[in-house]
Amino acid sequence: MFSRIPAAAGVGLRFPHHGVALQPTPGVSWLEVHPENYLLDPGARVHLRRAREHLPISLHAVGLSLGSVAGVSRDSLQRLRALIDELEPGLVSDHLSFSVANGHYLPDLFPLPYTEEALEVVVKNVDAVQHALGRQLLIENPSVYLAPAAQDFDEPEFLAALVKRTGCGVLLDINNVYVTATNTGQDPAALLKSLLDRLPREAIGEIHLAGHTTRHLDSGQRLLLDDHGSKVGDAVWALYRETVQVLGRVPTLVEWDNHLPEWQVLAAEALQADAVLIALHGPMLEGLPLAFHRPVPG
């Protein structure tokens, strides 16, 4: 039985917090992990199974390389499927990016040019993954640093086409919206609005919140790095409020990967996300289907 991820706040679980995550923590209603950290390590999976007994778990992959022209590794899919069968996660996601090329896996989320050619590749790969896993995949919008000179789509159009053609869902990372917009000379609020306008509301199954670093270049420009190593910024919180105002309650994850703070810091940010959800939509009504928590259109 897959655990249902509540339309409330959760946090990304990393190894140093394996122990403390077993304690009930206000604000933390679910956990998310990177499956790649557990696929080879049965010892680590023991911790994950214990955590799963306390809270629903979501799997957020970083290694499927959904945009790769080489396709998705059958071995990776089999391992992921086995972990899914073992943990029964509520949600499974990965990124709109590629990490495998020239026969290597490189630990970065490389951007795709939004072209017809890339769309065909991603559609084929997402179809293959969803078929192999027997479930819907959520695809996360990327943090973009490089701007291809010629593209057939903008990001919202590309994601909307992907959703339409594959039936996948979307993991809307609000920090990525802010980082991408800033790095590519767009207005973050306008990019967010375009995403919310173009994507079917029911397709957005999860939201991510994270911190970024600002680097001031010698040329005078600002470069934002999506490093998940600091607290969620004010501008991102503002975009989050706009998002859930439109979408209603959506499972929301606070995600740290670098400079991991104490568990309580993560929990405090999760509480803050919950406070936004409660302020806009009232307390979560436990047990009701997710759709009941969404505002009625019109």
Partner 1 sequence: MISVPPLSLPQWQSDLSEFALHGTADAAARLLPHLKNSPVPVEAALAVHAACVHSALRSALAQRVPTVVALVGEGFFNTLAESYARANPPAAPQLSGWGEGLPAFIAAMPACAAYPWLGDMAAFDLALDRVAWVNPEATGPAVQLTPELALVASPGLAVLRCRHAVDRLRDAVAEATSGNEAALSAELLEAAPRCYVLWCAADAAVRCREISESLAEVLETLFLSDSGSETVPEIPAEGLAELAEALVSLSAIRLVHTAN
Number of residues counted as binding partner 1 (CB under 8 A): 51
Nearest distance from C-beta of residue 248 to partner 1, angstroms = 34
- C-beta closer to partner 1: residue 132 or 225: 225
Q: Which candidate, 232, 170, 168, 167, places its Cα nearest to that of 206?
A: 170
- C-beta closer to partner 1: residue 87 or 247: 87
Q: Please give the torsion angle defined by the CA atoms of residues 230, 227, 89 and 121, in that order, rounded to the nearest 10 degrees.
A: 160
Amino acid 56 reads: P
Based on the shown chain and the rule CB under 8 A, indicate whether residue 53 belongs to the binding site for partner 1: no
* Beta carbons of 252 and 209 less than 8 angstroms apart: yes
Nearest distance from C-beta of residue 48 to partner 1, angstroms = 12
- Which residues contact residue 165 at a Cβ distance below 8 angstroms, ignoring those fewer than 6 apart? 119, 123
Among 23, 24, 53, 103, binds partner 1 (CB under 8 A): 103
Cross-strand bridge partners of residue 204:
170
Q: Which two tokens stand for residue 14?
A: 């990393």
Nearest distance from C-beta of residue 199 to partner 1, angstroms = 23
Nearest distance from C-beta of residue 147 to partner 1, angstroms = 4
63 to 102: interface string for partner 1, x by CB under 8 A = x-x-xxx---x-xx--x------------------xx-xx
Based on the shown chain and the rule CB under 8 A, indicate whether residue 43 belongs to the binding site for partner 1: yes
Q: Can you tell me the distance from the alpha carbon of 14 to that of 257, in angstroms, rounded to the nearest whole number?
A: 8
CA dihedral sign of residues 295, 57, 203, 110? positive
213 to 252: interface string for partner 1, x by CB under 8 A = ----x-x-x-x-x---------------------------
Q: Can you tell me the distance from the alpha carbon of 143 to that of 252, in angstroms, rounded to the nearest whole number?
A: 18
Nearest distance from C-beta of residue 64 to partner 1, angstroms = 8
Q: Which two tokens stand for residue 106?
A: 């490189």
User: What distances in angstroms separate CA 208 from CA 59, 83, 243, 254, 270, one per listed residue?
Assistant: 13, 22, 11, 6, 11
104 to 143: interface string for partner 1, x by CB under 8 A = xxxxx-x-xx-x-xx--x----------------------
Based on the shown chain and the rule CB under 8 A, indicate whether residue 167 belongs to the binding site for partner 1: no
Look up tokens 């290694």; give the residue.
63
Q: Which candidate, 49, 55, 59, places its Cα nearest to that of 92?
A: 59
* Beta carbons of 9 and 253 less than 8 angstroms apart: yes
Stretch that binds partner 1, among 59-67, 82-90, 124-132, 239-247 (CB under 8 A): 59-67
- What is the contact surface with partner 1 in residues (CB under 8 A)? 36-37, 39-46, 62-63, 65, 67-69, 73, 75-76, 79, 98-99, 101-108, 110, 112-113, 115, 117-118, 121, 145-150, 183-185, 217, 219, 221, 223, 225
